[in-house]
Structure 1
């Protein structure tokens, strides 16, 4: 049976669904026009990873972490993963050096085994406690599998046409007091420009605030908030189709980098760097990019995902270190 738990950023209330039917598979984001429910969308829809729409009633719940265990995640294939990443980096970076792309996001996954079995709900509660600024979700369906998310990035959020999105890019440690690098500033500017150009096709009533530094767990990012009025919310699926995937998870130009990623990335992204959350054109919509996430597999095995935006002056070591820092968001849920 499918289930969803979620908690919005800067709140404490957890909501649980009461599923009235199994998820509906949606062929395209445009087909979300006029629809309502909890959306689980992949990076790129496919037969193996369809867009899912769950119809449910929601109720507030109180959940405690009743598991006292802590666990260590063991990566038995660390060096092989580093080697694969280095090959992917060189392949991607060559496209930037040649001028084929302005920016492209390289993602990786890591298959880890936990030394102790921690219940999924305990991991969810720990994520809620550790990351109050993030959207936290735990969902499970037969088609998607079971995923835990702690993401800082809004795709679209708002009520009755008063909407918000964000341009979030650039990453460094929260303890790093050095100025933002030119690479990080440029990367964030690419994302902001792309999103505002998308919004302009749907409304001229928008404003941009930022960029400014925002915290997400142990990391900080550059963020701009983009507020806009969407007069016709019944066509929000068309807007989602235009926005997703943004350059924050894909690249520039969008179509070419998306196709390159699908054809060349070592491990399929599945639902990582897609989006999830509540869609309601007549009420509150809260959709978030699926970052800082992991898939919970059988046998106490977990697949963690992370990525980073590459520009011409990116280096393999710094980008690898960034993915490791991002994966730590999920690793820390195994500790009380």
Structure 2
């Protein structure tokens, strides 16, 4: 009889030297169909983009929790990673989806739509998921890194820059992150190197706050990127203000996430009741950063029109109630691991002025994080 793997989640918070593993010793993770059920729980949540009977919110119970130093994780250098080859990454399929989405934007049916895609890679030999987790921790110190396994979801690795909802004591924190530009396009002209940014809570520093001598942060952003970030920021603020009038906003500013930069705004606030946590997550997810505007109509269109199913990509994941804190992140820069096969996911926000080539290139840049973990060299 084949023994089932225990459900587990390893995670490393941004800028942390330690990782934590949550292990469920017996039974299967709990399944929820509303984020409101997260209130009062202690464990690790894995949620899909679209909750359904087939794709519920999975909650790994914290039967056992262990911690360790990231530097003690076994690290394999690039030369020891087995060769990984692309199995499927169709530009034509993406371009076809782009035309369907873009036509809706040009008609005025939507202000913004997020289109995602999946690229499939295979390795000659099996690579331990924990090895990939260790490499992600080493390569992306500013990001939330997590390796999650359940029998229902399979195994997912993420190195994500986007906070959905974060707490430290009585303070709560979320961000609006949208707009994307390759890092090399904006590095010239800086007199000072980027510095870590932390706002209000200990894990707020996702990415780096960048400063220069041209404008507010030395970066020239396109109108398309500015508009995209404005949609997300307005939505986040509206959601938070439904639950509290004690909200502080900072931004937008330019923040680095791996090999790309984004526009980011931060919101720090208090909640009158801990029971508001699940309700706020329900209101926030999915944000326009992974969905569209107007949200509910865009959500329905994306769910029925994307030809690449998202699964748990662009959902959210993170510890809930662990040590009194909650750290939920949008599941971006991620891949599903299935033996020697790796499904890499990425998406981008489309506006009426978008063009297919630049949007494809944006998804390529976003996939670079997981490609780096697999030691894939882009040609």
**How far off its partner does 1:281 sit?**
9.2
**How far off its partner does 1:331 sit?**
0.5
Q: What residue in structure 1 maps to residue 261 of structure 2?
A: 220
Q: What residue in structure 2 maps to residue 101 of structure 1?
A: 110
Q: What residue in structure 1 maps to residue 375 of structure 2?
A: 335
Q: What residue in structure 2 maps to residue 118 of structure 1?
A: 127
**How far off its partner does 1:316 sit?**
0.3
CA contact under 8 A between 2:111 and 2:293: conserved in structure 1?
A: yes
Q: What residue in structure 2 maps to residue 271 of structure 1?
A: 312
CA contact under 8 A between 2:172 and 2:268: conserved in structure 1?
A: yes
Paired residue for 1:61, among 63, 68, 76?
68
**1:316 is aligned to 2:356:** yes
**1:172 is aligned to 2:181:** yes
**1:210 is aligned to 2:251:** yes
**How far off its partner does 1:16 sit?**
1.3
CA contact under 8 A between 1:159 and 1:282: conserved in structure 2?
A: no
Q: What residue in structure 2 maps to residue 305 of structure 1?
A: 345
CA contact under 8 A between 2:180 and 2:225: conserved in structure 1?
A: yes
TM (norm. structure 1) is: 0.95
Moved over 4 A (4+): none
Q: What residue in structure 2 maps to residue 8 of structure 1?
A: 13
Q: What residue in structure 2 maps to residue 136 of structure 1?
A: 145
What is the alpha-carbon root mean square deviation over aligned residues?
Answer: 1.6
2: distance between equivalents of 1:304 and 1:245?
A: 20
**How far off its partner does 1:66 sit?**
4.8
Aligned pairs for 1:135-284 within 5 A: 135-177=144-186, 179-280=220-321, 283-284=324-325
**How far off its partner does 1:55 sit?**
1.2
**How far off its partner does 1:271 sit?**
0.3
Aligned pairs for 1:23-62 within 5 A: 23-56=29-62, 57-62=64-69
Point out where structure 1 has 5 or more consecutive residues left out of the alignment. Answer: none
Comparing 51-60 with 184-193, greater Cα deviation is found at 51-60
Give aligned pairs, total. 333
**How far off its partner does 1:159 sit?**
2.5
2: distance between equivalents of 1:280 and 1:117?
A: 34
**How far off its partner does 1:83 sit?**
1.0
TM (norm. structure 2) is: 0.85
CA contact under 8 A between 1:295 and 1:304: conserved in structure 2?
A: yes
CA contact under 8 A between 1:249 and 1:273: conserved in structure 2?
A: yes
CA contact under 8 A between 1:278 and 1:286: conserved in structure 2?
A: yes
Q: What residue in structure 2 maps to residue 19 of structure 1?
A: 24
Q: What residue in structure 1 maps to residue 194 of structure 2?
A: none
- CA distance 1:27–1:274, change in 2 (3 Å): same
2: distance between equivalents of 1:311 and 1:41?
A: 27
